[in-house]
A and B are shown apart, each in its own frame.
Chain A
Amino acid sequence: MTPAGAGTARENGAGKTAPATDGPILRIDDLVVELPGPHGTRTRVVDGVSFDVPRATTVGLIGESGSGKTMTAHAVLGLPPEGATLSGRLLWHGEDLLAADPARRRAVRGREIAMIFQDPLAALNPTQRIARQIGEVPRRDRLPRAEVNRRVVELLDRVGVPEPERRMRAYPHELSGGLRQRAMIAMALAGSPALLLADEPTTALDVTVQSRILRLLADIQAADGLAMLLVSHDLRVVSHVGERVVVMYAGRVCERGPARDVLRRPAHPYTAALVRSVPAVRTRTALADPLPGAPATPANRPAGCAFHPRCPMARARCRAEVPEVREVAPGRWSACHFAEEVPGS
């Protein structure tokens, strides 16, 4: 029933079957998202992405801006941009959501898979009180009004909004950025989802508030045994809360594996460059080493390995041949022809 491997890290356990409870809660398998480009062309903004989100686990999805992280999350939610075509499989408890009908997709949204958006001010309806927006899913599920209100207060309290009975009557613009994002998190939790997609949940916030929101997300994830896909361009965000990490570049996966190992001993030159660009992650390097060059865009992705124009290790094979994502060490997967040669790996 579930085409899942034995362990969460072993994904290509061909022929093995396991009960649904053993497999990952979400398996993204060869996901391709194409958008209409200029002059009738199609642009592959997500190009054959595969990774698992095990249950009760936080997976960090990182990569520079434009690498296709948001597009991947939106595809999982079933809300790609207009005109997008999707292929591959999105196995949710073993059920392929890409093959599901629209009604089933809608039923999953908000109740099984919920999303926290980047900019809470833009993502909250400015003309509705937050109580109404947080209580929307329970209300649509025909919970009695008093019951809905109680749930809203409970949720706001849970996400650390002080005086929830008073604050629930506020409009989004009347709250601080941090409180808004907390309200947004309460809204995502309202339908009791099993998977949270958090797309840059702290990017729009003050630095001082960022770590508190991250801690809140980590606490809720742990307490409720949620699965969480934490999307960020900021390695530090993922290194704080992610147990596993997936690194994307130009719409493809570069590397994935346990967060500690990947960040300590990258098996892909792009990950290594990302790590070097952040001073706090590697205490041994005093100064940050910014990534050279500009990110490749999916619209004109270099042939072969998309990273080769910026890669210090690039050679002829890299320009000709697209590297497969392969297991380079137990539980460690890399899309580099020369993963074994990456310094420090």
Chain B
Amino acid sequence: MIRMIVHRLLIGVFVMWGAASLIFLVVRAAPGDPATVLLGPDATRSQLDQLHASLGLDRPLGAQYLSYLGDVCRLDFGESHWLGRPAMGAVLDRLPATIDLTVTATVIAVIVGLTLGMLAGARPGGLLDRVVSACTIALQSFPTFWIGIMLVLVFALTLRLLPSSGVGSPQHLVLPAVTLSFPFVAIIARLTRTSLAETMRESYIQTARSKGLTERQVLFGHALRNSLIPVVTVVGVQVGALVGGAVIVENVFAWPGLGSLVVEAVANRDYTVVQGATLLIAGIVVVLNLMADLLVAQLDPRIRTGAV
């Protein structure tokens, strides 16, 4: 168990290093120059050179990379020249809005997805199973932004039940969170269904029935917990995709979170904010993956005792 945690933490450090390096290269490979954006199209050559020097962009890429890694290790994410303040401060200001959005979406996805998956998987091939399967396939085949726009058309513009964008009240959270949750409802429902149907074919389920348990007792006493093990693993992995979906949803609904900040920062060629936000997200994903692993170990004694 302890070995597993240490192992996962080491992998986490490796992932963080990979994320830091990747984002460093990506922002620099993208077309456009921060100095040009900051100073405008009329800036002179010497003004640009001066700004490059003060941003450290005149040095060779390798040197920039090493000092960037050193700064990151000291949790120094640099000054944002665009916002004129420490980059991480700006990122952390936007974090709560994204947490509101993603946590709400996750809760919706877990509750709705597990319920649908259980209903479908308890009787594979039944009517409920076929209805749920059709719905989840439909949900998964539409892109997130399209679902968002459709929800806005129906609930905000036609029915006028909910605000279409912005923040200010819990109602504002509904449409973006629901939109973000949709693909995850589908993933969790399908996975739970498959896993539960598979578990119900296990030998030990027959054993449970041979003890005279009712189907409900078999389901809740033996099948459900075991069928959740692969679901938790995948949900942990999918959290990263959820954050990716948040970037799109925040921009569709003008939600002031990390996702919209990153898009604005990219438009302004602000490397420090993009790097800071990406590393923060990567860190959160690493921690959530570790939590999912711990939960799986909690559910499966074979992993807890190192048998698998």
CA–CA, A111 to B210, complex, Å? 9
What is the 8 Å Cβ interface bit string for chain B, positions 191-222, against chain A (1 contact, 0 not)?
A: 00000000000111011111111100100011
> CA of A124 to CA of B207 in the docked complex: distance in angstroms?
7
Report yes or no: B211 in contact with A126, Cβ–Cβ below 8 A. no
Question: Is the pair B305, A124 in contact by a Cβ cutoff of 8 Å?
Answer: no
- Are A110 and B212 closer than 8 Å at their CB atoms? yes
Q: Does B55 contact A (CB under 8 A)?
A: no
Known: A122-B203, A122-B204, A127-B226. A140 touches B213 (CB 8 A): yes
Question: How many of A's residues come within 8 Å of B, CB to CB?
Answer: 27
A127/B225 in contact, CB under 8 A: yes
**B307 on the interface (CB 8 Å rule)?**
yes
**Closest approach, in angstroms, between the C-beta of A132 and any C-beta of chain B?**
10
Distance in angstroms from B124 CB to nearest chain A CB is 10
Contact B300 A110 (CB under 8 A): no
Q: How far is the CA of A140 from the CA of B217 in the complex (A)?
A: 10
Q: Tell me the chain A residues, 157-171 only, with Cβ under 8 Å from chain B.
A: 171
- Contact residues of A: prevailing secondary structure: mixed
Interface: B299 (CB within 8 A): yes
Q: Which interface class (under 10, 10 to 19, 20 to 34, 35 or more) fits B? A: 20 to 34
- B307 — which chain A residues lie within 8 A by C-beta? 173-174
Which residue of A107, A110, A124 has the most chain B CB atoms within 10 A of its CB atom? A110
**Contact B206 A123, beta carbon cutoff 8 Å:** yes
Does chain A have a CB within 8 A of B45?
no
Residues of chain A from 98 to 126 with CB closer than 8 A to chain B in the complex? 106-111, 114-115, 117, 119, 122-126
Give the contacting residue for A79; candidates B210, B214, B299; CB below 8 A: B210
A125 to chain B, nearest CB (A): 4
Contacts A122-B202, A173-B307 hold; do A109 and B209 have CB atoms under 8 A apart? yes
Chain A residues with CB under 8 A of B204: 122-126
* CB neighbours of B299 from chain A (8 A): 127
> Which residues of chain A are near B206, meaning CB under 8 Å?
79, 117, 123
Interface centre among A108, A114, A125, A140 (most CB of B within 10 A): A125
Please give, as numbers and ranges, the residues of chain B lying within 8 Å of A117 by CB-CB distance.
203, 206-207, 210
List CB contacts (< 8 Å) of B266-308 with chain A: 299-302, 305, 307
Digitize B56-67: 1 where CB-to-A-CB distance is under 8 Å, 0 elsewhere: 000000000000
Min Cβ gap B126→A in Å is: 11
B305 and A126 within 8 A (CB):
no
> Which A residues contact B (CB, under 8 angstroms)?
77, 79, 106-111, 114-115, 117, 119, 122-128, 136-137, 140, 171, 173-174, 187, 191
Of all A-B residue pairs in the complex, the 7 with the closest CB atoms, nearest first, are A109-B212, A122-B203, A110-B212, A110-B211, A125-B204, A171-B301, A115-B210
Residue contacts A-B, CB under 8 angstroms, 12 given: A79-B206, A106-B213, A107-B212, A114-B210, A115-B207, A122-B204, A123-B203, A124-B207, A126-B300, A137-B211, A171-B305, A174-B305
